[in-house]
Structure 1
Amino acid sequence: MRTHQVVLQWIEEQLSSGQLRVGGRLPAERALAEQLGVSRTSVREAIRILEALGVVRAGVGSGPDAGTVVISDPTAALGSALRLHVATAHLPVADIVQTRVLLESWAAARARPGSPALAEAATLLEQMEGCEATEEFLALDVRFHLALADAAGNAVVSAMMGSLRESIQDYAGRLTGNLPDWAATAARLREEHRGILAAITGHDGAAAARLVAEHIEGYYAEAGLGGSA
């Protein structure tokens, strides 16, 4: 086992046992190196890996933000990994979209009508009404769909949804250049959003699942992504 893996294993054990929790701080670099019998370089390497995985945030200097703090941001880590693999063309964008359809349909069918996430979705939908800028609209659209996923109450699905959206966000934005009339498309998307939200709040999960699948597939088909519909 390489020495930085010793550090990773120790931190995993501390998290699993509850000795370390989200918001807690790791021991200082020198103290941790001495405790585990490894070099400070190995500790730094382990912390860099954990930062990339969204498990810790390393601060410098002094004050409340200093030190290495345990966080939980799986979406960022998964999204970064997926985005790189999409860039290599090993993961086709069409497959990412199909996976998104599967997850969002599942979430829409199980979204809880009383979930606070649906109130957030309704607020985001209102903000979309007067939104003409494409980039701003797409940002609100991402948040709307993530709120719907959150309403299902499954943390893993929410994290996967966030990472899938992040992995193709730039690509989805570029696709708007293929649309003949963005204003008309935006109006249609808003109307479809309203229908999805109404189905969920009306306790019709089957209709919500069908509508969200048609919504996603319809957009990508119109924008010219072959094989997504």
Structure 2
Amino acid sequence: MYTVVLDWLEERLRSGEISVGDKLPGERHLAEEFGISRASVREAIRILDAMGLVRSSTGSGPSAGAIVISEPSAALGWALRMHVATRALPVRDLVQTRLLLETQSAREAAAAPDSPERSAVLGRAAELVAAMEEPALPDKDFHAHDAQFHVLLASLAGNVVVETVMASLRQATIGYVQETVAGIEDWPAVRRTLQDQHRGILESFQQRRGEDAAAALHHHITWFFGHSDVAQDR
């Protein structure tokens, strides 16, 4: 019975009657409106929460209840991780998807007009590259910066769906990246090579050399996963 609440919210979002930031009616109101139990309403809210569409707060007062949000990458990333864990989605196929998305985004980003947003993204990417070159940076932070670097550069193409999928793919594969690193005996040397590759990728983006950026990304991604059998065996 909870699906009536999901359908109702979809219709209201499409029509504009409800927008991001709005608060949903309370459990009792929704239960009475649709003639269902409050338990069914709570189940609907839990599902919407898992989908990244609402954020729920318990208690009373203006901050309590379910607020409409939009965090698609978080929900999609969670779903991908679970399906990767079941091996229904092979890591090698996720890597191939990254290659397709990132290389094409690099080409499109080269043709994007100058803007304050583009300058800010490139500036932040440069900061991440600099941070990753700090010898004392923990590996966990190195991986996090690496992931953010790739998502930022993909965003320069101006495609929100690609950016969302990229963020989700990075979330889905981060565990396997950490497994890969744990199995690499010469990780310090690999890390230095990755730093060099990041600098080259960033320079290509800064200079709007789309084909060079695409080639550098392709080499970077395939080179890294080539150091482990994770992407090949899963």
- The percentage of aligned residue pairs carrying the same residue is 46
Q: Does 1:204 align with 2:209?
A: yes
Q: Distance in 2 between matches of 1:109 and 1:140?
A: 23
Residue 118 of structure 1 aligns with which residue? Answer: 122
Q: For the Cα contact (< 8 Å) 2:99–2:218, is it kept in 1?
A: yes
4+ residue runs over 4 A deviation: none
Q: In the superposition, relative to structure 1, how do residues 42 and 140 fare at CA in structure 2: closer, same or farther (>3 Å)? A: same
Distance 2:212 2:62 in 1: 48
Please give the alpha-carbon distance, in whole angstroms, between the structure 2 residues aligned to 1:32 and 1:7: 8
Check whether the contact 1:108–1:200 (CA below 8 A) recurs between aligned residues. Answer: yes
Give yes or no for contact 1:51–1:57 (8 Å, CA) kept in 2: yes
Give yes or no for contact 1:101–1:213 (8 Å, CA) kept in 2: yes
Listed as ranges, the gaps of 5+ residues in structure 2 are none
Distance 1:157 1:23 in 2: 24
Structure 1 residue 164 corresponds to structure 2 residue 162: no
- Contact kept? 2:57, 2:64, Cα under 8 Å: yes
One-letter code aligned to 2:66: T
- On the 8 A contact 1:55/1:71 being kept in 2, the answer is yes
C-alpha displacement of 1:200: 1.1
The residue that corresponds to 1:14 in the other structure is 12
In 1, the alpha carbon distance for the partners of 2:66 and 2:48 equals 10
Residues in 1 aligned to 2:197 and 2:60: alpha-carbon distance in whole angstroms: 50
Q: Residues 184-223 of structure 1, C-alpha deviation per residue, up to 9 Å, x if partnerless?
A: 1111111111111111111111111111011011000023
Corresponding residue for 1:127? Answer: 131
The one of 59, 64, 85 equivalent to 1:87 is 85
Q: Cα RMSD (Å) of the superposition?
A: 1.6
The one of 54, 57, 60 aligned to 1:59: 57
1:187 maps to: 192
Structure 1: gaps spanning 5 or more residues: none
Residues 25 and 69 of structure 1 are in contact (CA less than 8 Å); yes or no, is this contact kept in structure 2? Answer: yes
Report the TM-score when normalising by structure 1. Answer: 0.93
Deviations 1:33-84 (A, max 9, x none): 2222222111111111111111111111134531101111111111111111
Q: TM-score, normalised by structure 2?
A: 0.91
Matched, 1:155 2:155: no
TM alignment of 1:207-226, pairs within 5 A: 207-225=212-230
Length, aligned pairs only: 226
What code does the residue aligned with 1:186 have? R
